[in-house]
Amino acid sequence: MTNNGHKLTVLIPTYNEEDLIAQAIKSVLWADEIFVVDSFSTDKTVEIAESYGARVIQRKFTYHADQKNWAIPKSKYDWILVLDSDEVVTDELRDNIKKLLNSGEGMNKYDGYEIARKHFFLKKFLRWGGRYPLYNVRLFKRTIRYEDRNVHEHIILPKDKMQVVDGDMLHYSDRSLSQFFEKFNRYSTQQANYMVKAHESIFKTKVDLKQFFTNGLYTKALIKDVWFFIPGTSFARFVYMYIVRFGFLDGRYGFLIAVLYAFQDYVSKTKYLEMRDKTPKIRLAIQEFITNNCDALNCNMKNDFSLKSNNI
């Protein structure tokens, strides 16, 4: 526990994480409060969290930003560290956070601190492909909130109001292919829902040019908002991860994650089109050509294409 200076709440959102929650909590037992916001887990997640002294509140899940923004003001202390249940705080990060809290140095000057994450994909640490270091604001004042996004939400702060704290979070998000595809389906649906909500206003957003050219988090947030509306971004994602960011240096794992992330972009956009009852003109033309020329092509099939569906 921190004995003087600023006090810290570690906020951990959970849902059916009995296999991971213990290692996450063990890595932050030094904090002044461990606050678990659980989305009505049906396994032993709550029982395990409480056994380590965590305060647990249950709330129906909507989307990640909403869940975290609801929980932040219910934290006991003025500084928050957000830790996902599949993450672990390293000893180096723990020591540096404790120094910040106990000395108070910089805690009044800055509103938040960026922390690097090490992404483990099928138990392999990915150093390339833009996967490390993945900096996000994870340590911040209780007055700060996440951007209102359905998926891949972040905290956006002015450049002069945030700093980097040394040390890593270990991120064990993709532990198996079956677990990856469960998350894949959920995330692509959440992204599609956000696109439906954003498509009317996305291009009316006023851009702060100074922030755009000086604040990487602000720039990344704007790019995320328009990314899925640009044709060909699935292929661009693969090229960026595998070639531009040297993902090929991670071997077959670098190739696989680049393919899967590109495919996830494609599925997200396809679900969005399905939700808006839209079918791309090129795809319609191909479908019409095949069905109209089925006999000549000897495809021996009925016209079972649905213009209302873009399922893969």
Tell the residue number behind the tokens 């794992």, with chain if given: 253
Closest CA to 114 of 96, 129, 126: 96
Q: Could you tell me the end-to-end alpha-carbon distance of the chain, in angstroms, rounded to an integer?
A: 51
What gap in Å lies between CA 159 and CA 96, rounded to an integer? 21
Q: 25 near 45, Cβ under 8 Å? A: no
Query: Nearest-5° angle of CA 50, CA 51, CA 53?
Result: 60
CA 191 to chain centre: 11
Q: 191 near 197, Cβ under 8 Å? A: no
User: With a threshold of 0.75, does the pTM exceed it?
Assistant: yes
The four Cα atoms 128, 133, 138, 141 give a dihedral, to 10 degrees, of -150
Q: Which domains are delineated in the chain?
A: 8-175 (3.90.550.10), 178-275 (no CATH)
What gap in Å lies between CA 93 and CA 97, rounded to an integer? 6
Note down pLDDT in tens along the chain; length 312 residues: 444 689 999 999 999 999 999 999 999 999 999 999 999 999 999 999 999 999 999 999 999 999 999 999 999 999 999 999 999 999 999 999 999 998 866 788 899 999 999 999 999 999 999 999 989 999 999 999 998 888 888 899 998 999 999 999 999 989 999 999 988 998 899 888 888 887 766 666 677 777 777 777 777 777 777 777 888 899 999 999 999 999 999 999 999 999 999 999 999 998 988 888 765 565 556 656 666 666 555 555 444 433 333 333
The four Cα atoms 196, 198, 202, 208 give a dihedral, to 10 degrees, of -160
